Amino acid sequence: MAHLHDSSFRSLTRYEEYYLAGGDLFFMVDHHMFRVHRYFFERESSYFKGKLATPPSPGATRQGTNESNAIVIDDVKAHEFARFLWVFYNPKYSLYHASVADWVAILNLSHRWAFPEVKDLAVRELEKQSMGDVDRVVVYQDNKVDLNLLIPCYAALCERDEPLTAQEGRRMGIETSLTIAHLREMARRSPNDCRSPAPANCHGKDLLSIVRELFEIPAPLEDDVAPVTPLGGPVITVL
């Protein structure tokens, strides 16, 4: 996060939907000014709780308290930040309907800024959505999502007829790609231990067990399954 320079201040536009009367925290994102409520950031994020608690330098104003010293967020588009804020200001209490791209953006930001409840929500919603196996692997790995959720994707990539393409391999990374290649070889071995070009001979629970073993994924604990909880705070009137 950078500091707000005069040239940036002159070129910015207030983001109408999330420039809220009564908001006490200012962000500048992609040349747009946001005014929201500090409460959500202090309550939900250990990152922002620490950042907002840091006392200002002698004679300086606490960062984020007005437009001239707004917290500047780099490498994020205004519409992505707005979608992230929507999680807190969603008018349909506890009902969250958004596209895959929106939930991926929310997941990215919640992981980056240590919003665990928002991250869990994004993962739950993405689990309801249709995504390509490689896409899901990349998104979940990048955001350190529980790898138990990727076991079906790894298995599907093992069972499909086509091997991984070079592009897919680059996206998932060399370690994941090599492990999947090894899985494909193991799944296609014939009973006499010779590799077969035919479709995978190993399916179902046996394949899932091999996936778990090769990727060294521990079994989930019961405590890891969190209930769905609304993220809204106290009722805030948007004027």
What residue spans define the domains of the chain?
6-126, 131-220
CATH, range 6-126: 3.30.710.10
Q: Rounded to an integer, what distance in angstroms lies between the CA atom of residue 24 and that of residue 210? A: 52
Structure tokens at 199: 């479709």
Structure tokens at 44: 């939900």
> How far apart, in Å, do the first and last CA atoms of the chain sit?
29
Q: 23 near 37, Cβ under 8 Å? A: yes
Radius of gyration in angstroms for the set of CA atoms belonging to the chain, rounded to a whole number = 22
What are the pLDDT tens digits along the chain (239 aa)?
555 555 555 578 999 999 999 999 999 999 999 999 999 999 999 999 999 988 877 877 888 999 999 999 999 999 999 999 999 999 886 788 999 999 999 999 999 999 999 999 999 999 999 999 999 999 999 999 999 999 999 999 999 999 999 999 999 999 999 999 999 888 777 555 544 444 456 667 888 999 999 999 998 876 554 444 456 554 443 33
Q: Which of 107, 108, 104, 111 is nearest to 132 (CA)?
A: 104
